Amino acid sequence: MDSKLKEKDNAIELRKRGLSYSEILEEIPVAKSTLSLWLRSVGLAERHRQRLTKKKLAAALRGAIRKKLQRLNSTEKIQNKAQRDIGRISRRELWLIGVALYWAEGSKQKEHSVSQGVKLVNSDSRIIKIFLKWLLQICKIPRDNIHFRLSIHRTAQNRLEKIQKYWSNITGFKINNFQKIDWKKHKVHTNRKNLEEKYFGLLNIYVRKSTNFNREIAGWIKGICKQCGVV
């Protein structure tokens, strides 16, 4: 009994010195419920409360970082396996990929716009690269028939040269191909995450004299639908 009273007194003293429950339990190995009962009426000085609050926040941050690293490692393993599943892509498969990409992202002809040429707008550099590869290598569109237009927020005006160089590097076209610009008004409240140094605007890709090419793409899309039995 005396040993329990001594443990209680020691626990109360440690608590008054600002130690956390876990730190006290390292010194006094009792049940946490017992410790809680002993210390429920023990107050803490302000400096001790601040220390424990900082300690809890630091522990929470370490836990969050650990979980994030676990998610990143898990994601990397899943993606590496999925990447290997793809294997080699044939020219026909790349052709179909390009058709599906244009179906999702490109400008289509409508009843009120039957002369719409081929146009794709995107900010994803990978989509841009695949689409240009499809145009140049699969569809054999001459480089001179491809031109570009940038859509950029006014707030990025001081980064124009960097943005032009970025898209020049992505596309493999010289920087003088990125002189045409549509300036967009900046919205104060925005959900965009690609701000400041990560922001490169939208790239518009046009194919000159491509009305019939757009109609041909529409036919390919219909062919895909027919072969998949969705028409």
User: In a 3-state reduction of DSSP, which class is residue 119?
Assistant: strand
* 83 in any annotated domain: no
Question: Over pLDDT 90: what percentage of the chain?
Answer: 62
Domain count, the chain: 1
Instruction: State pLDDT tens for residues 80-112.
Output: 999 999 999 999 999 999 999 999 999 998 877
Under the banding of pLDDT at 50, 70 and 90, the label for residue 27 is confident
* 86 in any annotated domain: no
* 201 in any annotated domain: yes
* 66 in any annotated domain: no
pLDDT of amino acid 34: 87
Q: Closest Cα partner for 161 from 178, 149, 186, 147? A: 178
Q: Whole-prediction pTM value?
A: 0.72
Give 3-state DSSP helix, strand, coil % of the chain, rounded to 5.
65, 10, 25
* 145 in any annotated domain: yes
Bigger pLDDT: 8 or 189? 8
Q: Closest Cα partner for 122 from 110, 114, 130? A: 130
* 20 in any annotated domain: no
* 53 in any annotated domain: no
Question: Where in the sequence is the domain holding 144, given as residue range(s)?
Answer: 91-227
The number of beta carbons lying within 10 Å of the beta carbon of residue 54 is: 10
- What phi and psi, each to the nearest 5 degrees, are found at residue 113? -145, 65
* 43 in any annotated domain: no
